[in-house]
Structure 1
């Protein structure tokens, strides 16, 4: 048995996407591209968190490497790792959490603010108008 989840075109219910038609196509397309760019920054933000977590994990793994180097009779190598690597800034003056915070408080915050202001001004705050139109077109 199959279930068709597409709305009945004869239904008297109004689709939540129907109101997207009060915005012209060119504006909806521009808002769609702006939204796509924002989504790309969200993906970049996720990768930045991965970088942060992986780098932190690697730094903690160095403790075990130091222990094993000492146990293997290489205290000078263990001292080198301790002195030159453990707790090292990933860029001068910054650990990864600081890079994440600066990205979020700076670029990402500005980007999301600009996108929201433009969306509010041009589409009454509605999101994904372009996608709503694609849905409507593909389901008709």
Structure 2
């Protein structure tokens, strides 16, 4: 990794492309987090339905309880899959491939440096010498 995170050795178009790929990866990471939220919320709902089943039984509504238990509790959310399987497929396929391309681009073009675009933006937008606008690690004041 370079000692100057702004990578003056790289042309602006390459830095912009690295920044755009990094931006896209951030969106994919957010999407992945939403999948985990989907997984947790769906699981929470399933557990609540199980509680409702028991309460319906206790309240004398055995047929409704039986139907809920048979047709909804433990049901696949999409064909052949529970939510954990959707996450596993996403992770093993799209997410892993995306991260590998991001790493490849950074390795091949910026010696592995991350956030070069942002480092340049920070240098452009901060007020040099002003308190709380320090350059920070691997950026020149």
| TM-score normalized with structure 2 length | 0.85
Structure 2 counterpart of 1:17, from 2, 5, 12: 5
Give 1:17 deviation, angstroms. Answer: 2.7
2:85 is equivalent to residue 98 of structure 1: yes
Determine if contact 1:17/1:136 at 8 Å carries over to the other structure: no
2:117 is equivalent to residue 130 of structure 1: yes
Distance between the aligned counterparts of 1:123 and 1:42, measured in 2?
Answer: 22
Structure 2 counterpart of 1:83, from 62, 70, 79: 70
**Structure 2 match to 1:53:** 40
Q: Show the 5 A alignment for 1:16-35.
A: 16-18=4-6, 20-35=7-22
Name the structure with the higher helix share: 1
Q: Return structure 1 stretches of 4+ with deviation > 3 angstroms.
A: none
Give 1:95 deviation, angstroms. Answer: 0.6
Question: What's the CA shift string for 1:1-29, capped at 9, x where partnerless?
Answer: xxxxxxxxxxxxxx7435x1111111100
Distance between the aligned counterparts of 2:29 and 2:13, measured in 1?
Answer: 24
Determine if contact 1:67/1:78 at 8 Å carries over to the other structure: yes
Distance between the aligned counterparts of 2:48 and 2:78, measured in 1?
Answer: 19
Distance between the aligned counterparts of 1:89 and 1:16, measured in 2?
Answer: 51
Give 1:102 deviation, angstroms. Answer: 0.6
Determine if contact 2:5/2:113 at 8 Å carries over to the other structure: no
Q: What root-mean-square deviation, in Å, do the aligned CA atoms of Structure 1 and Structure 2 show?
A: 1.2
**Structure 1 match to 2:136:** none
Give 1:57 deviation, angstroms. Answer: 1.0
Determine if contact 1:52/1:97 at 8 Å carries over to the other structure: yes
Q: Which runs of 5+ in 2 are unaligned?
A: 129-141
